[in-house]
Structure 1
Amino acid sequence: MQTNFEPLEVFLEICKIPHPSKDCKEMKEWIKKEASKFGVKIYEDTIGNILCSKGIPKVCLQGHYDMVYVGECKDFSIQPQFFSIENKEWLKAQCSSLGADNGVALACMLLALKYFDNLECLFTIDEEIGMIGAKNIALKPQSPFMINCDSEDINEVVFSCAGGYDLKATKTFKKIPIPQDFQYYAIHTQNFIGGHSGIEIHKNIPNALLELAKIVEATEGIVLRFFGGEKRNSIPVNATLKIACPPKHTTLIEHLPKESFSISKLKDSPNEGYDCKDLAKSLLKVGNGVLKSLNNAPILSSNIGILEQHQDNFTLFLMGRGNEESLMQENIQKQQTFLEDLGFAAHLLDYYSPWEKEEGELLFKVWNIYQKYNPNSYLKSIHAGLECGILKQKYPHIHFVSIGPTILHPHSLNEKLDIASFQHFWEILQKILKTMA
């Protein structure tokens, strides 16, 4: 397997530059510096989106330059490593997410600017924390067609995607006395794999917050501390519960599987804690995972991504997705009502509509090339969110399609890039640009 083709070399350079959401300044400057080598005009808006234009644009490539960083390194460093499974070459990172979502797009886009004329490339910022760049974009692409390079299966030609919403629910819990015979424990999740809350929500990946909520419910314990999660759009990996447990349930805690939980007894034994039955109920009953399917594919889902505790206040953040707008609206109302009945103040923080299926010249051209050079390809609507839906509202005259190489388990420590698919994607993308640019 060739592991030194040009887009891969560029991607490995990208891995050297920290670019978590909200902290992408260094990556932004690097993109502009690299693009300037290829004779392009560079435009930037106040939010941080970058538009590179070359010649008379016929097609625009689009990708985001932030990543979901899951890992312990405070400098957000990535250490890529190659490995093989059954003679198939992969790339992952040691002890962190890889950032192939969407770093592979950045590599291909920069090389497209190098080798093709009559092209635009739109690099958007902070897609992973609510599509902030797309929502606030103030740039004007001239192309009639836009190819989003954020799909994560080499065989998929995506023509529509889910919309999404973010819900925030906060409640203040009163302290209650802890009986003297209660035992005190600190429980931390470990070895949870996490994953993308859109494309992997149907895989029943354990949610670290929900697993600890089950312990709160089963032990009838009094909570001292309870928090965790990484991003609202990723399935939680890390969570912590400090709890005072009645003697009759200590065996339950002490026999939790060691591969999933780190358990220790607390030396401190405060006199008060929180009666969090309603918190556990909110986490376990509000709806998590696939809520509705069609033809064995999710069309409505919810992911409880983050739980925060600030003294007496507990706040949970969940992200819902839907391929049909009516389903999303109904579920927002249902979840808000449920949480409010439990005494939470529930607020809708963000909302964006689904990208509805569109057929036209762009889809026809891209699909024809895929059928010729990738006979395993198929047309698909995905349950993940893409910037296409928001950008379509901003630029109704532009036609969209989404493609990309195979990336498994994005937004997690197990994120890995299929090297052969990356190479194949670059070859197909060049065929498309030769036809259109």
Structure 2
Amino acid sequence: MNAHLEQLSPRALWRHFRTLCNTPRPSGHEAALVATLERWADGLGLAHDRDAFGNLRIRKTATPGFEAAPGVILQSHLDMVAQANADYPHDFTCDPIETWVGDDGWLHARHTTLGADNGLGVAAALAILEDETLVHGPLEALFTLEEESSMGGALNLDEDWLEGRLLLNLDSEDRGQVYIGCAGGADVIVEARLPSAPLVDHEVALRLSLTGLSGGHSGIDIDKGLGNANRLLVRVLRALEPFGARLVDYHGGTLRNALPREAFATLALPDDEQASASKRVAVLQEVLRAELAGVDEGLTLTLSPMATRPAEALTEPASQQWIRALHVAPCGVERMSVAVPGVVETSNNLGVVSLEGGRFHLCALVRSLRDSATQDLADRFRALFELVGARTRVENAYPGWTPNPDSPLLARFCRLHREQLGSEAEVKVIHAGLECGILGGKYPKLDMISFGPLIRGAHSPDERVELASVAEFWTLLRALIEDLARDDAW
């Protein structure tokens, strides 16, 4: 599948990306891809090893005469976000990603995430390793695991394993930009067992659905004004409280690092309030569409009778308590950065919310450029839900990456960007969880930058990559590696 990818330029890079598209690799299921890459490395005579967590390293010795050049680490993560449109059956653990090239010059996937994040970084590193025309110093390609789900690969990376002095993270998503800092983050988990009571004779069961939102990356896109399905459906549930609605179940979002596109709830409602509730939902659909106009215009809100009648729903006090707690929970941009104008400093994403059989579960992702602010917002989130008797915990915390504007590697990159592409590179800090912050904590002497091709819609089925930007990314990467090897200033 995806044979057309090998007709794109640069061919070596796209050939490897085809392998990635044809090899399922959602977070936690990277083993098949690791085995494939190890066989590939064996075929080229490249040394490879894994650390205790399973992160993969492939090494290539320097071009003869350039052994004294500083070692360069090409770093990317192997896993991808698994998101598909609700009406499209796709098993990310066994089905390949089907790609297509649009007339607009962008590569897309059919109804699923594309995996350009971070598959193109992986493909570029592999293409560099097999390029026999490239002059280079010692090279290491570091491929981490479970970045999208937990940063597990970077958090558990062996120390005193990597040998290089310079690290090129290939996981950025903007053309003409180079990143020197990123947000840290933490998952906040909320769990509770909620009281329920049987439905009474005059109650009917209704299905409340909110669909059609764009979704997106919970860091990069958090300030775009896009809808969060959990935030919006809870708002609708709050508006239905006066009609005596009781929650039976709830399911919204699938990943804590993706803006939820859809959310669904089953309600028990007095029969004589059904018509009024339906009218209220219809009004709210128009209100929400108006609020999202020009930004996220696909919202659809429906309330329809259930074919089967559930036996129980939350008690009315419990239902109201939890809807209200969710309604006031932090969601979206908390604070913009003063130090880095135009960049979000702190945010929270209500990523995954579920209620089934009285068991409530929530996973939110807090991000901040300041580790202290990450800790504070996570603590506020916990305090809110502890007030209503929930069990809370913080998991998968990872540090931010403190910018170093005086980095020699950055200065070299900016010069090459100007020479190779004829334009100045924009130096940026990103409100997303690049692995650089974690890696810098384990290897504090590393000089690091992050760059990549232009990707849009990451973490959603709208994910796409601009083909021309991939060619530019490849040109710049090759030039940088050669420049680092040839200059004796190191």
Tell whether the structures are fold-level matches, with TM greater than 0.5. yes
Q: Distance in 2 between the 1:285 and 1:202 partners?
A: 19
Cα-to-partner distance string for 1:196-244 (whole Å, 9 max, x where unaligned): 0011110121112222212211111111110121111111123221112
SS at match of 1:201: coil
- Deviation of 1:424 after TM superposition, in Å, equals 0.6
State the one-letter code of the partner of 1:136. Answer: N
Residue 287 of structure 1: how far off its partner (Å): 0.7
1:37 is aligned to: 43
Are the aligned partners of 2:152 and 2:396 in contact in 1 as well (CA < 8 Å)?
A: no
Q: Does 1:80 align with 2:99?
A: yes
Q: Which segment is superposed worse, 12-21 or 372-381?
A: 372-381
Q: For each residue in 1:180-208, what CA deviation from the matched residue of structure 2 results, as whole angstroms up to 9, or x when unmatched?
A: 43332113333222110011110121112
Structure 2 partner of 1:98 = 114
* Percent pairwise identity: 29
- Provide the residue aligned with 1:191 in structure 2: 212
Whichever residue aligns with residue 273 of structure 1, its letter is: A
The equivalent of 1:159 in structure 2 is: 180
- Check the 8 A contact 1:153/1:404 in 2, yes or no: yes
Show the counterpart of 1:367. 414
Question: Secondary structure at the residue paired with 1:332?
Answer: helix
Alignment of 1:355-434 (within 5 A): 355-358=401-404, 359-374=406-421, 375-434=423-482
Matches within 5 A, 1:255-404: 257=285, 260-261=300-301, 263-270=303-310, 272-274=312-314, 275=316, 276-294=319-337, 295-358=341-404, 359-374=406-421, 375-404=423-452
Computed over aligned residues only, the root mean square deviation of the Cα atoms, in angstroms, reads 1.9
Counterpart Cα distance in 1 of 2:97 and 2:301: 26
For the residues of structure 1 that align with 2:468 and 2:14, how far apart are their CA atoms? 11
How much has 1:409 moved relative to structure 2?
A: 1.0
What is the letter of the counterpart of residue 420 of structure 2?
Y
Calculate the TM-score normalised by the size of structure 1.
0.94
Q: Distance in 2 between matches of 1:323 and 1:62?
A: 21
Larger radius of gyration, structure 1 or 2? 2
Structure 2 runs not aligned, ≥5 long:
1-6, 63-69, 286-297, 486-490
Match of 1:119 in 2: 139
- The whole-number CA distance in structure 2 between the counterparts of 1:382 and 1:271 is 48
SS at match of 2:22: coil
Counterpart in the other structure of 1:135: 155
C-alpha separation in 1, matches of 2:310 and 2:79: 42
Q: Which has the higher strand share?
A: 1
Aligned equivalent of 1:213: 234
Corresponding letter in the other structure for 2:110: Q
SS in 2 for 1:183: strand
Q: Is 2:414–2:424's contact at 8 Å kept on the other side of the alignment? A: no
Displacement of 1:173 in angstroms is 1.4
| Residue 74 of structure 2 corresponds to residue 53 of structure 1 | no
Question: 2:248, 2:356 within 8 Å by CA — same for their partners in 1?
Answer: no
Residue 376 of structure 1 and its aligned partner are, at CA, apart by: 4.7
Secondary structure of 1:218's counterpart equals helix
State TM-score, norm by structure 2: 0.84
| 1:15 paired to 2:27 | no
Corresponding residue number in structure 2 for 1:107: 123
SS of residue paired to 2:265: strand
Give the structure 2 partner of residue 5 of structure 1: 10
Deviates more, 1:5-14 or 1:421-430: 5-14
Residues in 2 aligned to 1:30 and 1:121: alpha-carbon distance in whole angstroms: 15
Matched residues, number: 433
The C-alpha deviation readout for 1:336-384, integer Å capped at 9, x for no partner, is 2112112222211221111101232212211221232341521011100
Aligned equivalents of 1:76, 1:316: Cα separation in 2: 28
**Kept in 2: contact 1:219–1:245 (CA 8 A):** no
Contact 2:205 2:310 (C-alpha < 8 Å) held by counterparts: no
**Change beyond 3 A, Cα 1:269–1:132:** same
Alignment equivalent of 2:222, drawn from 183, 193, 201: 201
1:181/1:251 CA distance change after superposition, 3 Å: farther
Distance (whole Å) between structure 2 residues aligned to residue 197 and residue 70 of structure 1: 13
Residue 223 of structure 1 corresponds to 247
Give me the whole-angstrom Cα distance separating, in 1, the residues matched to 2:225 and 2:20: 32
